[in-house]
Structure 1
């Protein structure tokens, strides 16, 4: 039996490697998708992150907005199939889709018939505001209207005896800025605490986060 020449062997190995890489990519899945706005409103912010992560990450739109009827291509790492998606409309109202298998769809539509455009419910679909003591979606936008930078944000159910982790991580929120805070679906009644760079702090207690989109400091309530 004749062995292949070095050139033939190299070509054969390259061909096999190409097939293996293609099979691996197919096995991992392609989670990238088109975000489609059919809400009748302008989307000002968009987030997409793995359902296993505890933070939303950066605003994918950056300085752009997504007008009604528009489409925006969202690129995600190969293999990251199960994702949570959040949009914030002009005026501050937000809407979410949780646990979406984006490897099985080319589009994620907000405002599509049969899907929610009202206040957030437990699964991000249309529904009335959740009442304290009932389950819902407590994620919110932290809005800083002080003249100080917020360096720490803690939010925990009002029934808890401790504040828990800093939900900003390494981020800060400058005066006039906002930051999307991601919380697990379930409990609605929360206490929220911010700490400023000058080490002063401010708290609000007993907030029904399932019925609001923004929590603003300083608190005017």
Structure 2
């Protein structure tokens, strides 16, 4: 009798512990109200450091003005989530860092469209609208990573000009791993496939018949062909905008700037480029983008690496004078004085470290002076780095800092040249490290 009584006590205690453990791991409810003015076709919810996962709308639609309660499978200590919703009108709505333990009810409205809420975000395009009357489509395809490297992005499209979203989303595919991609919403059979690994190397496959092949193996044999990249911005040196610059100084010119005469205080981008310089006795043909048939007279400015020695030419008609030469007699002490004190570390003064905190790879990064809002963005600052993946850092050169120009605008583009980031009035004189988020 005593043994049976003790057994019942132990059984009751174990039941309490089990129930208590279940409570610790229980789902967290989140009630979403659709205040967007249109029906939602997809809702994704994830912890802030996790992938989006599956569409939480099991029936594929949340009507405008209606609500739905989701049971989020989160660890007991995790409360903060991100929310992404999509409408049938190809609009996305984003909310970041929502504490569902404190805020169990949430309204999605037009203020959250394309990340216009509390934080700047990345536009995420995920097609979830069903396509009717499809006569032929590939269904699902299995990708096998046999490259020996982690694949971070995969694009599959029937045309190179429009790649669409990264098929891996926020996830990656380790080497010797497989991933099933749902292409049931696509039309046709022939597709191009592009993959990007952890080192930024590209793997390309042409004209894959995915109606007949349901398995694609990505190996090192597919690496290196960049035919899928958008055509690079052509730097054509037209006769009208080209000027030959001769270095007649006794030292190397590291930076070369021009400005329209009379436009005091504003200098354009370095015409020698991030890695360029002009040794003593050498010459180089450069392109002056503002040089037209109606804008001819310019000032030219050359500096050494430290920016403490400056040579000036003023009021030069570059429409008629297609070759100019800097000489030692052109040293301008007043201009040299302006550049002193920018940074005593010389070449470190014009370098800025940038870290990508977005959930999307930046393929092209542009920087321009803030007071030149209508001007050209110039070339891609990533250059040989090709792309800037999430959480990756890169050091770029901003030679304009030697002119004591501090405020800049920054723009990031995706693979299809769509703008995914725009930050204005960044002070590079005060901040040499920038987080893009």
1:94 corresponds, among 92, 95, 98, to: 92
Give the distance between the partners of 2:86 and 2:180, measured in 1 at CA.
Answer: 19
Give the distance between the partners of 1:47 and 1:90, measured in 2 at CA.
Answer: 15
Please name the residue that 1:209 is paired with: 420
2:69 corresponds, among 73, 83, 107, to: 73
Max Rg structure? 2
Query: 2:18 is paired with a residue of what secondary structure?
Result: helix
Deviation of the 1:15 alpha carbon:
2.6
Query: 2:98 is paired with a residue of what secondary structure?
Result: strand
Give the number of equivalent residue pairs. 169
Tell whether the 8 Å contact from 1:47 to 1:87 is kept in structure 2 after alignment: yes
Deviation of the 1:173 alpha carbon:
4.6
Please, what is the CA RMSD of the aligned residues? 4.0
Give the distance between the partners of 1:196 and 1:46, measured in 2 at CA.
Answer: 33
Deviation of the 1:90 alpha carbon:
2.3
TM-score w.r.t. the length of structure 1 is 0.58
Give the distance between the partners of 1:172 and 1:64, measured in 2 at CA.
Answer: 19
1:60 maps to 2:56: yes
Please name the residue that 1:185 is paired with: none
List runs of 5+ in structure 2 lacking aligned partners. Answer: 143-150, 155-165, 169-178, 187-202, 209-215, 217-221, 230-414, 423-437
Residue 25 to residue 143, structure 1, CA distance change in 2 (3 Å): closer
Tell whether the 8 Å contact from 1:120 to 1:210 is kept in structure 2 after alignment: no
Deviation of the 1:72 alpha carbon:
1.6
Residue 33 to residue 118, structure 1, CA distance change in 2 (3 Å): closer
Residue 31 to residue 143, structure 1, CA distance change in 2 (3 Å): closer
Deviations 1:56-78 (A, max 9, x none): 11112144310112122212225
Query: 2:4 is paired with a residue of what secondary structure?
Result: helix
Please name the residue that 1:40 is paired with: 37
Please name the residue that 1:110 is paired with: 108
Tell whether the 8 Å contact from 1:151 to 1:197 is kept in structure 2 after alignment: no
1:174 maps to 2:183: yes
Deviation of the 1:98 alpha carbon:
1.7
Higher relative contact order (CA closer than 8 Å, sequence separation 6+): 1
Deviation of the 1:45 alpha carbon:
0.6
Deviation of the 1:96 alpha carbon:
1.5
Give the distance between the partners of 1:99 and 1:64, measured in 2 at CA.
Answer: 24
Query: 2:101 is paired with a residue of what secondary structure?
Result: helix
Give the distance between the partners of 1:142 and 1:43, measured in 2 at CA.
Answer: 13
Query: 1:69 is paired with a residue of what secondary structure?
Result: coil
Deviations 1:110-157 (A, max 9, x none): 12xxx8244423xxx179xxxxxxxx3124115599x886979xxxxx
Residue 119 to residue 143, structure 1, CA distance change in 2 (3 Å): closer
